[in-house]
Amino acid sequence: MDIESLLREWDGEDVFLHHDALTGAFIIVAIHSTRRGPAAGGTRMKTYPDLTSAVQDALRLAGGMTFKFAAADFAMGGGKAVIALPPSFDTRERTGLLKRYGALIKQLGGLYYTGPDVGTSSADMDIIAETGAPYVFARTPLAGGAGDSGPITGLGVYHALRATCEELDGNPSLAGRHVLIQGIGSVGWTLAGLLKDAGAEVSFSDIRPEAAEQGKSIGLRWVPAEELYSTRCDIFAPCALGGILNAQTIPQLNCRAVAGAANNQLATPGDADRLLARSILYAPDYICNLGGAMGITGIEALGWTREQAEARVAAAVTQTLREVFALSRAQGISTDRAARRIVERRMEKGRDVQGA
Ligand code: PPY
């Protein structure tokens, strides 16, 4: 796929492309939908094989944000930014690049609000906000923000696992269930802790060598990467990068359900049907992981306390997943398709509310 076809086929509103001549980085800001409110979504910063894959990632992630906010029934639209670093990026250039990126956000004048994603942190949000304020979520508490979005995202994913267990056999408890987590970064780590506390058996895999020791130190069982997909477990929880549910991996899966934090887990929409055909229950990713975006924006933009945010995230994830599972069961359609129908209904409602 080339950039021209990607843009022509995209169902979003706007894409901004900026070349940062000082570093050679490309910045892509994708505004998927402002129908329900200003477009919000994190900034992903990493190197990509080429500009086309960076644009493709930005477009797909932005669409996911629209779904996430609509699923949460939240008055916010979907957007996402990608900072595609050159292969030879000098990390001493990072702060300058983030400040110039902030200036770009400022220029957009509130069309797009950013936050953290893979490759960026709350400390980075502080730097971006030096020029990009006030359109930056999840700054550090010292700078007046709500801090890391990982823990509240992880809490939402935990409730997604409970709703998934409930759908499997009527019992939401995680006690005695075997969960396999792919990636124990900020979100996976929170999830692992909550699962252990609930009495689950937790295994994990992570491509970072230091993570193996970290996980084992709290009693998680290490699974080597080559055994990851075929390991027998109750729930497989992808909490790393996207595209991992595909024609190669789905036939290997040895689990009853998939529910995790990673964005864009399905490589293609058809992979949802592949899971359905194998009777593996799939909890759509953008519902499982809506806690970060909903919780942080709720605290910062709507003045929720952390306790209120946690309660609302738990309720939004649980209720939406229950609706999705019920529709999927009633109509014999994949959970992905069911979730899209439900979200589209909420999008229509958003249009009425705002009189657009
Ligand atoms: C996501 O959920 O994928 C995000 O982009 C995280 C986010 C978005 C907006 C504010 C805070 C966190």
How close is the Cα of 231 to the center of ligand 1, in Å?
31
CB 157 within 8 A of CB 126: no
3-state SS, residue 308: helix
Q: How far apart are CA 58 and CA 344, in angstroms?
A: 21
Q: Which pLDDT value is given to residue 241?
A: 85
The torsion angles phi and psi of 89, rounded to 5 degrees, stand at: -65, 130
Q: What pLDDT, on the 0 to 100 scale, is given for residue 288?
A: 98
Q: Vertex 279, ends 275 and 281: CA angle to 5°?
A: 70
**For ligand 1, is residue 42 a contact (CB within 6 Å)?**
yes
Query: 251: CA distance to ligand 1 center in Å?
Result: 31
Residue located nearest, by CA, to atom 5 of ligand 1: 42
Give the nearest ligand 1 atom to 40 CA: 9
> Is the CB of 78 inside a 6 Å radius of any atom of ligand 1?
no
Nearest ligand 1 atom to the CA of 68 is 2
Active-site entry in 80, 99, 106, 216: 80
CB 235 within 8 A of CB 173: no
pLDDT of residue 348: 81
| Structure tokens that stand for 71 in this block | 């699923």
Measured CA distances, 351 to 29, 255, 345 (Å): 23, 39, 10
Q: Which two tokens stand for residue 259?
A: 């529910």
Q: Using CA atoms, how far apart are residues 76 and 39, in angstroms rounded to an integer? A: 6
Residue 41 beta carbon below 6 angstroms from any ligand 1 atom: yes
Q: Is the CB of 261 under 6 A from ligand 1?
A: no
303 C-alpha to ligand 1 centroid (Å):
17
Contact present, 132 and 140 (Cβ < 8 Å): no
What are phi and psi for residue 120, nearest 5 degrees? -130, 155
- Eight-state DSSP code of residue 225: G
In the sheet that holds 14-20, the strands lie side by side as 14-20, 25-33, 77-85, 39-47, 112-116
Amino acid (1-letter code) at residue 356 = A
| Ligand 1 center from residue 298 Cα (angstroms) | 11
156 lines ligand 1 (CB under 6 A): no
Residue whose CA is at the smallest distance from ligand 1 atom 2:
293
What pLDDT is attached to residue 197? 97
Ligand 1 pocket member 147 (CB < 6 A): no
| Cβ of 117 below 6 Å from ligand 1 | yes
Residue whose token pair is 């509130």: 110
99 is catalytic: no
DSSP per-residue codes, 122-186: HHHHHHHHHHHTTSB----GGGTS---SHHHHHHHHHHHHHHHHHHHHS----TT-EEEEE--SH
Gap from CA of 116 to ligand 1 centroid (Å):
6
Strand partners, 28: 17, 82
Measured in Å, residue 42 CA sits from the centre of ligand 1 at 5
pLDDT for 353 equals 46
Best mutation site among 29, 65, 139, 304 for ligand 1, i.e. most ligand atoms within 8 A of its Cβ? 65
91: tokens are 């990390």
Query: 3-state DSSP helix/strand/coil percent for the chain, to nearest 5?
Result: 50, 20, 30
3-state SS class at 77: strand
Q: So what's the pLDDT on residue 86?
A: 97
For residue 174, give both structure tokens.
């995680």
Residue 137: CB within 6 Å of ligand 1? Answer: yes
For residue 74 and ligand 1, the question of a CB distance below 6 A is answered with no
* CA 188 centroid distance within chain: 12
Going by alpha carbons, the residue nearest to atom 12 of ligand 1 is 293
User: pLDDT value at position 239?
Assistant: 97
The neighbouring-strand residues paired with 235 are: 179, 257
Assess contact for 157 and 270: CB atoms under 8 A: no
Q: Enter the tokens of residue 37.
A: 């409110």
106-127 residues labelled b (16+ CB within 10 A) or e (exposed): bebeebbbbbbbbebbbebbbb
pLDDT, one tens digit for every residue, the chain (356 residues): 899 999 999 999 999 999 999 999 999 999 999 999 999 999 999 999 999 999 999 999 999 999 999 988 888 999 999 999 999 999 999 999 999 999 999 999 999 999 999 999 999 999 999 999 999 999 999 999 999 999 999 999 999 999 999 999 999 999 999 999 999 999 999 999 999 999 999 999 999 989 999 999 999 999 999 999 999 999 999 999 899 999 999 999 999 999 999 999 999 999 999 999 999 999 999 999 999 999 999 999 999 999 999 999 999 999 999 999 999 999 999 999 999 999 888 888 765 544 33
